[in-house]
């Protein structure tokens, strides 16, 4: 469904972009308009279907998702109905591009980080806005007599200040006096500081959120594994903190024979096949593989391939040793399980 939506949206955006190019032959504009209309109607249909399926319609209609759906569906046909010319109506196709981002999973993480750090980000931005105002005012005072067109008002100087503090540097307005250039240098360096402050704030925010998200993801899966059923809540939390979720498609090679072994895997969902020289073994949810290479330090002695989509929990060697030292009962569990079957490494 997501792929279908994204394809339709892409077609729509391309039609919308192409439709604004001057100098195309007349048929092309008509084709673009038709394509835009078809895309809009498909999104109309989708909106109606979704609305009918929902039980709480009014609540759904005010969610962000539904508003984007509505923006993708209504404006283009509406503009044509109220009699706007073709080329104006097509412009509303820009809303289809919103369909390209909203289904993205990692986007929620981004939004959370920006939300968490909004205070600091706004503070930095406000401070730099004040720097901008001062820079523009001083540049206006310094340069207005030499360049009355470029620096003839503080708002005009503000345009120079913005292009300079962001280090864009169009070059349409350049201070000429020595004092003006010294000021410009300071403004440029402040711009670098703006970059750096934002980057610093966001780096800190990302580290926190990623740690949190990884834990939540793996916790969900860890509690369902029978292997860990008898461990206490403390041990479970520690394991969930160390395991990383790894998704793989059908046929994906998880472990390759002969390569150094730097992690072991628990199967949270799906099945995998161990392809050793001697035999092929199937492993199911709750089982694990790759632990021998961690214990012995030898290279992998089998290739492991996913059968159908699977979700694995990866335990890196660094964390395996850590865990083995602090949770000896887990190591015992793994060894006991290992003894029960001919373990593929």
Residues 184-213, interacting with a second copy (CB under 8 A)? 184-185, 188-189, 191-207, 210-212
Q: Least distance in Å: CB of 204 to a second copy?
A: 5
Question: Quick one: 161 or 310, whose CB is closer to a second copy?
Answer: 161
Question: Quick one: 81 or 325, whose CB is closer to a second copy?
Answer: 325
Cα separation values, 225 from 68, 79, 162, 230, 265, Å:
39, 55, 55, 10, 12
Q: Which of residues 146-165 bind a second copy (CB under 8 A)?
A: 152-155, 158-159, 162-164
Contact 272, 304 (CB under 8 A): yes
Written as six digits, the tokens of 331 are 């190591």
Q: Which of residues 65-84 bind a second copy (CB under 8 A)?
A: none
Q: Which of 42, 122, 30, 119 is nearest to 77 (CA)?
A: 42
Q: Least distance in Å: CB of 241 to a second copy?
A: 7
Among 10, 11, 17, 245, binds a second copy (CB under 8 A): 17
- Contact between 91 and a second copy (CB under 8 A)? yes
Among 30, 250, 284, 321, binds a second copy (CB under 8 A): 321
> Beta strand pairing status for 263-275 and 303-316?
antiparallel
Q: What are the start-end ranges of the H helices in the chain? A: 2-18, 26-53, 57-61, 64-73, 75-81, 86-91, 98-102, 106-116, 118-143, 154-165, 178-222, 233-242, 291-296, 317-326, 328-340
Q: Least distance in Å: CB of 275 to a second copy?
A: 15
- Contact between 97 and a second copy (CB under 8 A)? yes
Q: Which of 194, 99, 179, 101 is nearest to 140 (CA)?
A: 179
Q: Least distance in Å: CB of 286 to a second copy?
A: 18
Among 2, 21, 49, 279, binds a second copy (CB under 8 A): 21
How many residues interact with a second copy (rule CB under 8 A)? 100
Q: Which stretch, 137-145, 269-277, 278-286, 334-342, contacts a second copy (CB under 8 A)? A: 137-145
Scored b (16 or more CB within 10 A) or e, 273-286 reads bbbbeeeebebebe
What residues contact residue 314 under an 8 Å CB cut-off, 6+ apart?
Answer: 243, 244, 245, 246, 263, 264, 265
Q: Least distance in Å: CB of 78 to a second copy?
A: 17
Among 44, 181, 252, 273, binds a second copy (CB under 8 A): 181
- Contact between 172 and a second copy (CB under 8 A)? yes
CA-to-CA distance for 206 and 238, rounded, in angstroms? 21
Q: Least distance in Å: CB of 70 to a second copy?
A: 17
Among 55, 145, 230, 233, binds a second copy (CB under 8 A): 233
Q: Which of residues 105-124 bind a second copy (CB under 8 A)?
A: 105-107, 109-110, 113, 119-120, 122-124
Q: Which of residues 271-300 bind a second copy (CB under 8 A)?
A: 297
């Amino acid at each position: 469904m997501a792929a279908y939506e994204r394809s339709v949206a892409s077609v729509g955006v391309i039609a919308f972009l192409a439709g604004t190019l001057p100098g195309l032959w007349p048929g092309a504009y008509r084709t673009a308009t038709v394509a835009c209309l078809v895309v809009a109607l498909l999104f109309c249909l989708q909106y109606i279907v979704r609305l009918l399926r929902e039980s709480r319609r009014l609540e759904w209609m005010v969610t962000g998702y539904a508003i984007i759906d509505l923006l993708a569906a209504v404006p283009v046909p509406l503009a044509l109905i109220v009699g706007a010319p073709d080329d104006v109506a097509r412009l509303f196709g820009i809303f289809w591009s919103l369909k390209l981002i909203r289904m993205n999973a990692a986007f929620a993480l981004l939004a959370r980080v920006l939300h968490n750090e909004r205070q600091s980000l706004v503070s930095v931005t406000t401070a730099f806005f004040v720097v901008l105002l001062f820079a523009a005012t001083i540049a206006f005072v310094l340069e207005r007599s030499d360049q009355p067109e470029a620096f003839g008002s503080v708002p005009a100087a503000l345009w120079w200040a913005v292009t300079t503090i962001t280090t864009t540097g169009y070059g349409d307005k350049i201070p000429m006096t020595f004092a003006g250039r010294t000021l410009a240098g300071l403004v440029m360096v402040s711009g670098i500081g703006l970059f750096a402050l934002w980057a610093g704030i966001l780096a800190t925010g990302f580290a926190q959120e990623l740690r949190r998200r990884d834990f939540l993801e793996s916790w969900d899966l860890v509690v369902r594994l029978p292997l860990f059923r008898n461990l206490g809540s403390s041990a479970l939390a520690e394991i969930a903190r160390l395991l990383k979720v790894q998704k793989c498609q059908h046929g994906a090679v998880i472990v390759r024979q002969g390569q150094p072994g730097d992690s072991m895997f628990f199967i949270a969902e799906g099945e995998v096949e161990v392809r050793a020289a001697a035999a092929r073994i199937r492993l199911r949810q709750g089982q694990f593989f790759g632990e021998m290479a961690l214990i012995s330090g030898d290279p992998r002695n089998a290739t492991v391939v996913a059968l159908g989509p699977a979700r694995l929990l990866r335990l890196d060697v660094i964390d395996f040793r850590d865990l083995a030292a602090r949770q000896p009962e887990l190591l015992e569990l793994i060894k006991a399980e290992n003894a029960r079957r001919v373990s593929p490494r």
